[in-house]
Chain A
């Protein structure tokens, strides 16, 4: 599904990602964890070219993203992204947030887009909010709308960047439930998270980044029970 080879990313002289190679297979749920500033967000953002890699390649379904720029929009349509701070469109209703991109980008008819949007809203438990504006929603509701908005494009891969970090504790669960559901439905997912519970229970694989280096890449059970490296052990001691 997505293959990363020898990925480097520099901001000026600051080398944020160093020689990252990994692969995410279809239907796989991968958790990306690591200390603050280790490059998790940057790594995720390289997967849909919100950041341009300095060198190395990202290959999505056989298409090399570091090639000519023309197809970026096409490829981005196949990759949904959910942000820490939601980034819903505040001047559009919940329903419009879901239908705008499918109509504009894929040329879907309004009736069809709305029908699909309603199905998605039902799936994330927000059927009664379709006419509401984002500012009237709670954090957890906003994030569920944001997930639905990304799903409305029918992506093959979903990227999550700390989707629960900006939420009040009592709202974390409702968002994680939606994500677990999504994982069960077979969606391919890359999730940057501080929710070790989620990484342990839902993820098929855990990637551990530290100072821009991919330090560990393996099964959650192995990673949490017997981390191979000193750095991972230190990190787990602090967060668990």
Chain B
């Protein structure tokens, strides 16, 4: 066995910094995804055909192609087409945000459709306008179905975020590779960040469970 973890010790602060770098873009991406996802979901359940069609097509495209491809297209095509030199950070937020909005829109659509139809009928019978009904009656109830699934999406995103290393964004994964080529040893730093990813995902999972329990209690 040729394993020597002592050599990565000097690089540990550098790699730990990657946690923050990773979480930072995942956080912005999920916010972008949630906002776009909500809008797309409203398109999907609405009665305006072109918008529904657009949202379905959007979802189909972003779910039907590899995320890494979407990332590359954004990172390389924006400078080529517009001359704007987009940063890896911004590309990562865009790619992950746009991609997750497709998944989140499905989560939200399902969450809304799981609300008892009677709620909508009761609101209609009272003469409540569509917007107010959605905002004050339907969405607050849908949130209970949506939040746990959203937490899952957050976890998936954190894990998949490692592919931004391919465009040179200095996230956890990329840092492991940098350390690896510095030391001419790849296994130890990879194992180390692997452990960090696992801790992050477990941490988010536990957080999600606590959150769900809180929701159940407030019922």
> Do residues B140 and A105 form an inter-chain contact, with CB atoms below 8 A?
no
Q: In the complex where A76-B125, A104-B128 touch, is A87 in contact with B219 (Cβ < 8 A)?
A: no
Q: A104-B136, A135-B219 are in contact. Are A87 and B119 (CB under 8 A)?
A: yes
- Closest B residue to A89 using CB positions: B137
Most buried by B among A76, A79, A88, A101: A101
When chains A and B are docked, how far (Å) is the Cα of A150 from the Cα of B118?
14
Contact of A50 among B116, B121, B132 (CB under 8 A): B121
Given contacts A90-B141, A100-B136, contact A150 B126 (CB under 8 A): yes
Give the residues from 79 to 94 in chain A that come closer than 8 angstroms, CB to CB, to chain B. 79-81, 83, 85, 87-91
Contact partners of B116 in chain A: CB under 8 A: 87
Given the known A-B contacts A89-B137, A91-B141, A135-B219, are A101 and B118 also in contact in the complex, defined by CB atoms under 8 Å?
Answer: no
| Chain A residues with CB under 8 A of B132 | 104
CB distance from B217 to the nearest CB of A (A): 13
Is the contact region of chain B dominated by helix, strand, or loop, or is it mixed? helix
Q: Chain A: how many interface residues by the 8 Å CB criterion? A: 24
Q: Are B126 and A87 touching (Cβ within 8 A)?
A: no
Question: B118, B122, B129, B137: which contacts A105 (Cβ < 8 A)?
Answer: B129
Bound complex: CA of A89 vs CA of B132, how far in Å?
A: 13
- Taking CB atoms and an 8 Å cut-off, the chain A residues in 105-130 that contact chain B are 105
> A residues touching B (Cβ–Cβ < 8 Å)?
48, 50, 73-74, 76-77, 79-81, 83, 85, 87-91, 100-101, 104-105, 135, 149-150, 153
Closest 5 CB pairs of A and B: A87-B122, A87-B118, A77-B127, A81-B125, A101-B126
